[in-house]
Structure 1
Amino acid sequence: MFLAPLLAAPLPVQIHVFAALCLIPLTLAQFSLPLFRLEHGSRLHRRLGWSWIILMALVALSSFWIREIRLIGGFSPIHLLSVVTLVSLVAAVLAARSHRVHHHRRAMTWLTYGALMGAGVFTLLPGRLMNAVLFGL
């Protein structure tokens, strides 16, 4: 691992990466709760969930200050994903608060696989910062 490219990156990029990396073990913990016979909806699930929501919102919000790819004015399609992510976070919380478990689960699943993992894969492409951090290229 080569941290120099990350340490040289602007502060919004560092915040974005830190929050995204914190989401990985937190996501694994949430998915592991049933293995330890801890119910979704338990106090631990809610605390981990709020931490996840805050970190994911930080990832989405920090992306608006990252403008390396400029396709539409100062923005790129990833910024549209950030808007969708923020709306989905609100929808997921509202669904959980109103006990609409199916809607909550669907929103959180989309956020995990689409917004977190899907977007995360693109950061590993050649020429991207995380590619340089992980592979030194």
Structure 2
Amino acid sequence: MAIKALREALKAEESMSLQPLLEASWVIQVHAFSAMAAFVLGVIQFTAPKGTLPHKTLGAVWVLLMTLIVISSIFIRPSVYPGLPLIQWFGPIHIFTVVTTVGIVGGLIYLIKGGPTLKKHKGPFMGIFIGGLIIAGAFAFLPGRIMHAVALGG
């Protein structure tokens, strides 16, 4: 039984490859690698001490990464219909583009205001992390998507 489970695990490991992502368009690569970096930085931000210089510095990098993710998402076109005009590229997943943009702006406004509103930046940024990285990221692993091919092969 254990040998069978080990074989399955090794088989799954063999099928995991960055190749589908590396063969994708540059805008998808920018989007995906920025999202991965933002996810890691977000976890660090939530667990590390607040108000420190590293928190502020990593926070600024995280906001820039999230902005890059939003901008790149606008230019990701559906591969099934590559000839579509820009306005027709947008699908339901692009709701996350709008919501994330609103969250970035809202969080930055709280930071710029400072004072008693400073701690409120956590709300929009936590929402972006959960909605924009975890939930939208989960959609990237659906069958037929590049990240599904990266994680599960085929």
Q: Distance in 2 between matches of 1:136 and 1:59?
A: 24
Cα offset, 1:78, TM superposition: 2.1
CA RMSD of aligned residues (A): 1.7
Question: Per the alignment, in what secondary structure is the counterpart of residue 127 of structure 1?
Answer: coil
Q: Distance in 1 between matches of 2:95 and 2:139?
A: 15
Aligned length: 131
Cross-structure match for 1:67: 77
The alignment's TM-score, normalised by the length of structure 2, stands at: 0.78
Cross-structure match for 1:118: 135
Q: After the TM superposition, which residues 7-26 of structure 1 pair with which residues of structure 2 at under 5 Å, given as runs?
A: 7-26=22-41
Q: Distance in 1 between matches of 2:89 and 2:113?
A: 38
The alignment's TM-score, normalised by the length of structure 1, stands at: 0.87
Structure 1: which 4+ aligned runs deviate by more than 2 Å?
none
Q: After the TM superposition, which residues 36-115 of structure 1 pair with which residues of structure 2 at under 5 Å, given as runs?
A: 38=49, 40-68=50-78, 73-99=88-114, 100-115=117-132
Residue pair 1:67, 1:76 contacting (<8 A) in 2 also: no
Tell me the percent identity.
Answer: 37
Cα offset, 1:24, TM superposition: 2.0
Unaligned ranges ≥5, structure 2? 1-15, 82-86
Question: Per the alignment, in what secondary structure is the counterpart of residue 125 of structure 1?
Answer: coil
TM-superposition CA deviations, 1:15-62 (whole Å, max 9, x none): 0011011112211211121xxxx3x22211110100000001111110
Q: Which has the larger radius of gyration?
A: 2
Letter in 2 for 1:44: P
Unaligned ranges ≥5, structure 1? none
Question: Per the alignment, in what secondary structure is the counterpart of residue 88 of structure 2?
Answer: coil
Cα offset, 1:102, TM superposition: 4.6
Residue pair 1:81, 1:115 contacting (<8 A) in 2 also: yes
